[in-house]
Amino acid sequence: LAKTTQPISMDSYEGQEVNITCSHNNIATNDYITWYQQFPSQGPRFIIQGYKTKVTNEVASLFIPADRKSSTLSLPRVSLSDTAVYYCLVGGTDKLIFGTGTRLQVFP
């Protein structure tokens, strides 16, 4: 399964847009890209999933370039409650391989 690389941590302020980029150079043709959010002592929460181009839902947008070797999760106008760990995963969704994630800290 494709290995992902994402920043260990990011800081932001309330109201700003946050973009977290994930590299997955070895992504396979059939792999999807999925992002999860996790708060301390809770299970990961599904945010968004995509295969190519752009996907948008009520929570976030996911940008995937044509070569699919990277992806960017965009969180519009973050709030304090968005402080969490964000995981980028690639692969079939039957067996999720988590990395260490990106710890996002939002300040007032």
Q: How far is CA 63 from CA 20, 23, 33, 60, in A?
A: 10, 12, 10, 10
- Least separation in angstroms between residue 70's CB and another protein is 19
**Residue 87 touching another protein (CB under 8 A):** yes
d(CA 68, CA 55): 13
Structure tokens at 41: 């002592």
- Least separation in angstroms between residue 92's CB and another protein is 6
- Least separation in angstroms between residue 16's CB and another protein is 25
Q: How far is CA 71 from CA 20, 25, 81, in A?
A: 8, 10, 23
Q: Which of 19, 53, 100, 105 binds another protein (CB under 8 A)?
A: 100
Number of residues in contact with another protein, rule: CB under 8 A?
Answer: 21
List binders of another protein among 17-76 (CB under 8 A): 32, 34, 36, 41-46, 49
Of the candidates 49, 51, 46, the residue with the CA atom closest to the CA atom of residue 30: 51
Q: Smaller CB distance to another protein: residue 94 or 108?
A: 94
Contact set with another protein (CB under 8 A):
32, 34, 36, 41-46, 49, 87, 92-101
